[in-house]
Chains A and B, each alone.
Chain A
Amino acid sequence: MSQTENLLKRLPNDIGGLPAEPIQRVDHELEPWEKRCHALADVLDFHKILNTEEKRRGVEALGSEMIGKLTYYERWIAAFANILFQKGILTPTELARKMDEVAARWGDEPPHPPA
């Protein structure tokens, strides 16, 4: 099988049965924002805005580079934002402005400087 055929047959989440490293029994206490992110996902699900399968597909749609480099809840929040854009619930501009506003509460330079 060619390299590209394999890319079609296995999307980034589809790793069952692949060779991998020994198990490291790692764990961590969730950061407050990670817990809020989890609660956000549940509340979005309760309100039928975003379900578990959409969330999983949203993470997969980030592509293998982001899946490999972002942490678990970083992938989630990035996927939620994309899905909310696709559904027309939020716009990228709105989110960028709100993130600047959040950053300003800590006296930070905005992460999205005006162009």
Chain B
Amino acid sequence: MSQHEHDHPHAEIGQSERPGYYDMMETAVRELLIEKGLFEAGEIRRQIEVLDSRTPALGAKVVARAWVDADFRARLLANGRTACEELGISFYDDTQLIVLENTAEVHNLIVCTLCSCYPRPVLGLPPDWYKLKPYRARAVSEPRAVLAEFGTHIPDDVEVRVSDSTALVRYLVLPRRPDGTAGYSEEQLAGLVTRDAMIGVIPVTAGEAGVSR
């Protein structure tokens, strides 16, 4: 709070700068809908908490479990949503989840050419590049060139499959378990799995740590 030490109550949590036009539009739309009784303010706060709780660490947990438990893997590939729910990951929307397994013969890549559909319940919100034109336009027509821009070179004898998400059907890539991880615990394995590997733009490697990308 700098020049805004005024005495009326702020509806928003911790906003100290003058909001921009669209910020005010959001506040106005939300407050009008609440005044009309269409939903309650607490529902927005709770949903923000849900959004904050969804990070690629959840997807990484699913992938690591699939690597160590063949029965779970089979259930995950049969129905991604119910298998994730087994691990306590709730789906707060109506979307179905199809899990695509990378193998020695097939490399999968996910995209949403029309907008920004993404497996949010298990990965959180998508990175900006996923929502921007270059990735959306090119992933379906020249996936190998796109992958090369992420430093990923898929051999010619490996098929590249691109899956285009929709409002109701979302995809998650099950990356290949890296070599040299035979002695790793499930938790250590999860620590290797990155967001970008579950989008399919990079592989999982044993040398990496952290789940941020």
Give chain A's interface residues, CB within 8 Å of chain B. 13-28, 30-33, 35-40, 42-47, 49, 51-53, 56, 59, 70-74, 77-78, 80-81, 84, 89-90, 94-95, 98-99, 101-103, 105-108, 111
Query: How many positions in chain B have a CB within 8 Å of any CB in the partner chain?
Result: 65
A-B contact pairs, 22 of them (CB 8 A): A13-B115, A15-B113, A17-B137, A20-B133, A23-B135, A23-B146, A25-B127, A36-B48, A37-B26, A40-B44, A44-B33, A45-B94, A46-B39, A47-B38, A81-B29, A89-B36, A89-B38, A90-B32, A90-B33, A95-B25, A102-B19, A105-B8
Q: Residue B188 at the A interface, CB < 8 A?
A: no
Total A-B contacts with CB atoms under 8 angstroms apart: 169
Chain A residues within 8 Å of B113, by CB: 14-17
How distant is A22 from chain B, measured CB to nearest CB, in Å? Answer: 6
A44 to B21 CA separation, bound complex (whole angstroms):
21
The 7 A-B pairs of least Cβ separation, nearest first, read A16-B113, A39-B47, A98-B28, A33-B23, A20-B137, A52-B167, A27-B127
Give chain B's interface residues, CB within 8 Å of chain A. 4, 6, 8, 10-15, 18-33, 36, 38-39, 43-45, 47-48, 50-51, 92-94, 111, 113-117, 125, 127-129, 131-141, 146, 149-150, 164, 167-168
How distant is A55 from chain B, measured CB to nearest CB, in Å? Answer: 8
Q: Are A98's CB and B32's CB within 8 A?
A: yes
Q: Are B15's CB and A32's CB within 8 A?
A: yes
Chain B residues within 8 Å of A44, by CB: 33, 39
A18 to B22 CA separation, bound complex (whole angstroms):
30
Chain A residues within 8 Å of B139, by CB: 16
The closest CB in chain B to the CB of A42 belongs to: B47
Q: Are B149's CB and A17's CB within 8 A?
A: no
Q: Are B137's CB and A78's CB within 8 A?
A: no
Q: Are A43's CB and B28's CB within 8 A?
A: no
- Contact A111/B21 with A17-B137, A36-B48, A39-B51 known, Cβ cut-off 8 Å: yes
- Contact A72/B21 with A13-B115, A37-B26 known, Cβ cut-off 8 Å: no
A13 to B114 CA separation, bound complex (whole angstroms):
5
Beyond A23-B135, A106-B4: 6 further Cβ-contacts under 8 Å?
Answer: A20-B137, A27-B128, A44-B33, A74-B22, A95-B29, A99-B24
